[in-house]
Homo-oligomer: A and B are copies of this chain.
């Protein structure tokens, strides 16, 4: 668990795109962010109040979150100065960077001296169990995709938000570093040792109230040969009661795999459901989430209508149209 609220460190991010993690926190857990801290030359602006470390503390911040990708995989001297000062002032640090905080001697020393914690969310800090496959109480929904990066995290986040707005019981369950930083906890599934993947997902989605839903962030795709093992562990470890199919209709080949065409939504539906039924025979496919960012309003509407007619499942872009119809679809389970 990362202590909230956060002060969001944007460093010298060249542009808004580099601040993806911070944007996610602002959009999905605005109550977790007291403000932003930018260095000279920062090209990103979240529209939050600019705060110094001192002002952040006064506003109640517990953790300085590195909400930005760094350049060239090196934590620069300019960043270091701020990070060390933050530790000296009593902040914890949290990061999803590839180069780990815990591998920087000066940060480790400053954390030890000041009793701060370094959260490297790419690295598991729990010894996960082997999955046991035992049915768990409560309900679980998993977003599965025709490909990587088609909006699975967004879909689960949006459904979780819509559930909670209705006063229903729901928890977003993060399985990647962005989701973990946004919510403060989760499992960095792609960094877990193979034998413990499904067990990590069981650990992430434990017994719960019968009317509680876990909205599990998907990873990879069962059709993406680089990462399908991770997806498989999510499907079997997550024991989903409901699957949401996620798709980006303009993509010409699987992400990073020029030789591989995307599967149809029908192929995803059939294969994911067959696999899911191994761990939960009652699993159902309940809806379709389309990432329409490369379509105009007209095209997006037409595409969703076409898929909905073809597949007989509520089909929306939760970013454009809201997630309400997907949440409605859970009511029947």
Using CB atoms and an 8 Å cutoff, list the residues of chain A in contact with chain B: 130-135, 189-195, 197-199, 222-223, 225-233, 236-237, 256-257, 259-260, 271, 274-275, 278-279
Residue numbers in B under 8 Å from A133 (CB-CB): 225-226, 257, 259-260
Besides A223-B278, A225-B237, 6 more A-B contacts (Cβ < 8 Å) are: A190-B194, A194-B229, A225-B278, A228-B236, A229-B236, A271-B274
Which residue of B is nearest A254, CB measured? B133
Tell whether, in the assembled complex, residue A279 and residue B195 are in contact, meaning their CB atoms are under 8 Å apart: no
Tell whether, in the assembled complex, residue A132 and residue B226 are in contact, meaning their CB atoms are under 8 Å apart: yes
Considering the chains assembled together, what is the distance between the CA atoms of A197 and B192 in angstroms? 11
Considering the chains assembled together, what is the distance between the CA atoms of A189 and B46 in angstroms? 42
Tell whether, in the assembled complex, residue A229 and residue B198 are in contact, meaning their CB atoms are under 8 Å apart: yes
SS of A interface (majority)? helix
Residue numbers in B under 8 Å from A232 (CB-CB): 222, 228-229, 231-232
With A130-B226, A233-B229 known as contacts, the answer to whether A190 contacts B195 (CB < 8 A) is yes
Residue numbers in B under 8 Å from A190 (CB-CB): 193-195
Residue numbers in B under 8 Å from A222 (CB-CB): 232, 275
7 A-B pairs with the lowest CB-CB distances in the bound complex, closest first: A229-B233, A225-B236, A232-B232, A229-B229, A190-B195, A131-B226, A133-B225
With A226-B130, A259-B133, A279-B225 known as contacts, the answer to whether A191 contacts B193 (CB < 8 A) is yes
Tell whether, in the assembled complex, residue B130 and residue A230 are in contact, meaning their CB atoms are under 8 Å apart: no
Q: How far is the CB of A31 from chain B (nearest CB, A)?
A: 31
